[in-house]
Structure 1
Amino acid sequence: MKIKDLYKIYTVSSGVEINSNNIKNGSIFFALKGKNFDGNQFAHEAILNGASIAIIDNKKYFVHQTKNILLVKDTLSYLQKLAYYHRLKLLHIPIIVITGSNGKTTTKELIKTILSKKYKTVHYTKQNFNNHIGIPLTILSMSKKTQISVIEIGANKEKEIYKMCSIIYPDYGYITNFGKAHLDGFKNIKGVIRGKLELYEFLKENKKKVFVNEDDPIQLTHSLGMDRYTFSEKGDSNVKITYLWKKTNLKSFLRVRNVKIESPLFGSYNLYNIASAITIGIYFKVSLKKIKKAIKEYYPNNYRSQILEKKNIKIILDCYNANPSSMVESLISFNKIKGNKIAILGDMLELGSSSSYEHVKIISFLEKSNIEKIFLIGERFFQISKNKYDKIKKFYNKKIFIQWIKKHPIKTDFILIKGSRKNTLESLIHFL
C-alpha cells in the first residue's frame, strides 16, 4: 500500500495508536518494536479492539487472508512517512520548533500559553512526545483547524534533529541552549553543539526564520546570515529584555518595553526561557498585556521548577530531568536564596565516560556552597571518594535515604530536589 492510499484511510480514521490497549474504533495501529517489546505480536489484538488497520513489519504475525493487516519493511519509517505526508497537506499551518539541552518543555509550554491568548487552536507537543516516535505522532495529531503549532525536539545523538525537521518541516525555530546533556550519545559538548545546530542548518536551507538569544555567543555566531528575530539584554536586538530575578524571591521578573512581567518560575536559568517566549509572542503580535497575563498564569506542574510548600518548607521540585549544565544552573540559583537550605540530588544519567568526572564537579561545587545540608542519592554519587565536608551525606539508593529520613526529620526553609527522571525523586515529598 502506498502512503497516499494509507493517508486516505487515516483521514477517515479515529487517529493513530502504538498501544493496542488505547485503540478506539477506527484507529490505525502501528506495531513498533523496542528493546523489551515487539508491537507486532499485538496486531491482531488491536484489530479485535476496533482498529481499522494494523501495520506490522514481522512476517511471523502476517496472515494473507486478513485484509486489515498490512506488512511493511519498517513500521517506524512508515509512520514517519505518513506524518510527513500529513504535514505536506497542512503546509499552510506555521510550525515553531524548539530544541536545546535544557528548558525545551518549559519554553514550549510558555510559548503555547502566550499564543493561546491570540489563537483559538494552538497545537503543541504533549507529554514527552519529542523523539523519533513521539514527533510523527504529534504531527498526525494536528488537525486542519490548527492555526499554529509548537513542537519540541529532543535528541541524544547527532543527525536526529535534522531528520526530525525533515518530517516536521518547521517555519520557525529556537534553540534554548547548548549544555552537557546525553553525553553518552553526543560524546562531548562539541557534539551537542553540532547536534543542536542541525535546526539552523535545516532552517537556513529552507529559508525559514530563527529566533535567537543574542546573549548566547553560539546562537549569535551560527545564525549569521540567517533570517532571524532576536532578543537580548545587552545587544541591539528586536526585543530588549531586562532581567530582574531576585535572590530573595522564588519568582522571576523581566522588563520589556517598560512593562514589568512576573513569572512564578524559579531560577535565573528560567529567565531566558521566559524571554524567548515573550519574544516569540511579540513576533506573532500578541499584545504585551496578554503576554504579561499568560506568563503570570503559567504554573509548571510537571516536576519542572515546580514550587510546593509542606510544613512551612518551600520545596523546589525540579526533578523531571538533570544533566551537568542544568544541575549547576539550579544550584547557582538555589545558592543565592537567603535562608536555611537543603539540597536533595539524584544521579545524573546518560553521561557516558564523563559520568564520574561530572559528578565529582557537582560535589566540588556543593562543598563550597552555602547550602547547609546536601543529600546525594544514587550509585554514581555514592561511588565517588569520600567528600571533605560533613554537610554532604551520600545514599546508595532512594530506599536507604527514605529509611534514614524517617529517623531524622528535616527542618529548614528551602529544599531543592533535582535528579534524572529515572530517580523519580518526586516520591520523596511524602516523607519530608
Structure 2
Amino acid sequence: MKKLLKVIMSMFKEEKLQEFQDIEIKDVVMDSKKVQEGSLFLAINNGNKYIQEALNKGAAIVIGDKVPEEINDKRVITVENTIEIMQKLAREYRRELALKVIGITGSNGKTTTKDLITGVLSEKYITEKTQGNYNNHIGLPYTILTLPGNTEVVVLEMGMSSFGEIDTLCKIAEPNYGIITNIGDSHLEFLKTRENVFKAKGEMIKYISSDKLFIFGDDPYLKNVSGIKVGYLEENDYKINIISEELSATEFTVNNFEKYKISLNGKHNCINATMAIGIGKAFGLTMEEIQRGLEKSQMTAMRFEKKLVGETLYINDAYNASPTSMEYSLMTFDNLKVSKKKIAILGDMLELGEESVKFHKEILEKAIETKIDKIFLYGPLMAQGAQLVKNNNIYTFETKNDIVKALREEKEPIAVLLKGSRGMKLEEIIEQKEQK
C-alpha cells in the first residue's frame, strides 16, 4: 500500500519522514488481534491499551491518541484524536487513488443496492464496496483506508442516526455519484419525524450534481428533489414494469423496452436493481454487461436469503427492520409463488421512538390482510401491537425455542419468513431448527 504510505508521510512529514520511508504497509486494522507483520494499527478508544501488543506483533505504524507513557517506539505516531486523523487520511488517500466514489444513503435498501452496483461495475472496473456495517464516521474512513491501490471505483454505504452525519461522511468520501434509496421510518427515536429523516439523509444532495444523483422518484419526500428519478410512476427517468416473479428470479423492464432479470424477489429489489442499471449506464456499460453484473452480484447475507432445511424453506430477511422494510418483506413473501404453507415470524422493530407500538399495530394490520397462513410474533413491542389487533392467525411467543417447537409441530411443508431488527437475532431460529 505504497500510496497510503505516501499520504501518511505527507501528513506527518516533519517528524516521521525518515523513519517511514523504508516501511511497507501490508494492511490496515483497528483490532489489535488482527495485527500482523506490516500492519497499520489505528488505536481507537480502548485500542490504545493494546499498542504495545500491536508493536510486538510487528505493526509497521501505530496511530494512537492515548499512548501509554512507557512506550517509546519510532513506529508510534501520537495524535490528539485518532478518529479525526483517520478521516483526514481517508480523504487524502481517496484523492491519491483518483477514485470514482458512489455514496448511498436512505432508510432501506442501501446494502442490496450497494451489492448490485458493485456487481454491475465489476464487469468493467476494479470495484470495491463497504463490507458489513462499516458505514459510519469510523467505518467509512476505515473502508477507504483498506482499499487496494489499484481500485477504480468504490461503493460506499452512508449510515446515520442524527443530523450532520451524512455531511461528515460526504466531506470524507467526496462522492462523485449519489443515491438516496428512500425516506422511511428508521431513526425516528432520534429524529422524531420523516421530515427530519429527509433533512438528515438529504445532506448528501449539496455534494452531488443533479445529473449524478439517483433518487427513488415515487417517494413523496424525494419527488421534488432535482436528480435522476427511478421508480414505478410514469414521470420517472427510469420507469419500472414487472413482467413476472418466480421463487428464483424476477423479470422486469426499464422504460418499457430494456428487459432485465435478477435473482431477487419484490418490487423494492427491482428499484434497487434499477439504481444499479442507471449507475451502470452512467459508467458506460452496455445492457449485456449490466445484466451479467446483476447475475454475478454477491449479495450480503440475511436480505431475503433463501435456505432449505429439510422440507422447510426459510426466507431470512432478519438483518434489520423498519415499518417500510417490514411491509416490503411481507408483500414480497405474500406474492412468493411457493406450494407451501406460509408462516411469517416477525420480531420487534427498534429505534422507532414514542409511537413504536402504533407502528407495530399498523404493520400487523397489514400482515393480516395478506394470504400468509400464520403470523408468529417475538418481542415485547410486537406483543403490545398484537393486543390491539385481534386475529386468529396471530400467535405470540416469549422465546425463540417456543417458536422452534411450534414450527416442528407443523404437519405440512412450510415456508417461513423471518423479519425483525438486528437486535432480535431471528436467524437463531433457523440455527435451533437445524439442531433437531
Assess same fold via TM > 0.5: yes
Helix, strand or coil at the partner of 2:344: strand
2:189–2:352 contact (8 Å) kept in structure 1: yes
Match of 2:96 in 1: 89
Per-residue CA shift, 1:115-144, capped at 9, x if unaligned? 11112x112112221111110011112233
**Change beyond 3 A, Cα 1:347–1:250:** farther
Following superposition, the deviation at residue 397 of structure 1 comes to 3.1
**Aligned match of 1:147 in 120, 143, 152?**
152
**Change beyond 3 A, Cα 1:165–1:156:** same
1:19 matched to 2:31? The reply is yes
State the distance in 1 between where 2:412 and 2:258 align. 39
Gaps of 5+ in 1: none
**Aligned match of 1:41 in 21, 38, 49?**
49
Match of 2:42 in 1: 30
1:214–1:235 contact (8 Å) kept in structure 2: no
State the distance in 1 between where 2:395 and 2:150 align. 54
Match of 1:77 in 2: 84
TM-score normalised to structure 1 length = 0.88
State the distance in 1 between where 2:193 and 2:145 align. 34
Following superposition, the deviation at residue 405 of structure 1 comes to 4.1
Helix, strand or coil at the partner of 2:301: coil
Helix, strand or coil at the partner of 1:197: helix
In structure 1, give the amino acid aligned to 2:135: N
Following superposition, the deviation at residue 155 of structure 1 comes to 1.1
2:26–2:38 contact (8 Å) kept in structure 1: yes
Helix, strand or coil at the partner of 1:388: coil
State the distance in 2 between where 1:256 and 1:196 align. 26
Following superposition, the deviation at residue 209 of structure 1 comes to 2.4
Match of 1:294 in 2: 293
Gaps of 5+ in 2: 1-7
In structure 2, give the amino acid aligned to 1:45: E
2:364–2:385 contact (8 Å) kept in structure 1: no
Match of 2:368 in 1: 367
Per-residue CA shift, 1:236-260, capped at 9, x if unaligned? 55544323354x6563221136342
2:63–2:77 contact (8 Å) kept in structure 1: yes
Match of 2:131 in 1: 126
1:367–1:388 contact (8 Å) kept in structure 2: no
Match of 1:55 in 2: 63
Per-residue CA shift, 1:162-198, capped at 9, x if unaligned? 1000000011101111111122222221121111111
TM-score normalised to structure 2 length = 0.87
**Aligned match of 2:252 in 232, 251, 254?**
254
In structure 2, give the amino acid aligned to 1:194: K
In structure 2, give the amino acid aligned to 1:289: E
Following superposition, the deviation at residue 149 of structure 1 comes to 1.7
1:379–1:397 contact (8 Å) kept in structure 2: no
Greater CA deviation, 375-384 or 131-140? 375-384
Match of 2:330 in 1: 331
Match of 2:3 in 1: none
Match of 2:4 in 1: none
Match of 1:395 in 2: 397
**Change beyond 3 A, Cα 1:64–1:117:** closer
**Change beyond 3 A, Cα 1:413–1:29:** same
State the distance in 1 between where 2:385 and 2:354 align. 14
**Change beyond 3 A, Cα 1:400–1:249:** closer
2:119–2:298 contact (8 Å) kept in structure 1: no
State the distance in 1 between where 2:247 and 2:149 align. 43
What RMSD in Å do the two structures reach over aligned CA positions?
2.6
Aligned residues: 417
State the distance in 1 between where 2:386 and 2:131 align. 41
In structure 1, give the amino acid aligned to 2:342: K
1:426 matched to 2:419? The reply is no
**Change beyond 3 A, Cα 1:30–1:111:** same
State the distance in 1 between where 2:41 and 2:192 align. 36
Helix, strand or coil at the partner of 1:219: coil
State the distance in 2 between where 1:421 and 1:364 align. 22
**Change beyond 3 A, Cα 1:64–1:259:** closer
2:217–2:223 contact (8 Å) kept in structure 1: yes
**Aligned match of 2:110 in 101, 104, 119?**
104
Greater CA deviation, 296-305 or 316-325? 296-305
Match of 2:198 in 1: 193
1:251–1:267 contact (8 Å) kept in structure 2: no
Match of 2:225 in 1: 222
1:377–1:397 contact (8 Å) kept in structure 2: yes
Per-residue CA shift, 1:19-74, capped at 9, x if unaligned? 001012121212212xxxx2221111111111123222226x23363333333222
State the distance in 1 between where 2:10 and 2:351 align. 36
Match of 1:170 in 2: 175
1:17–1:28 contact (8 Å) kept in structure 2: yes
| Identity between Structure 1 and Structure 2 (%) | 34
Helix, strand or coil at the partner of 1:364: helix
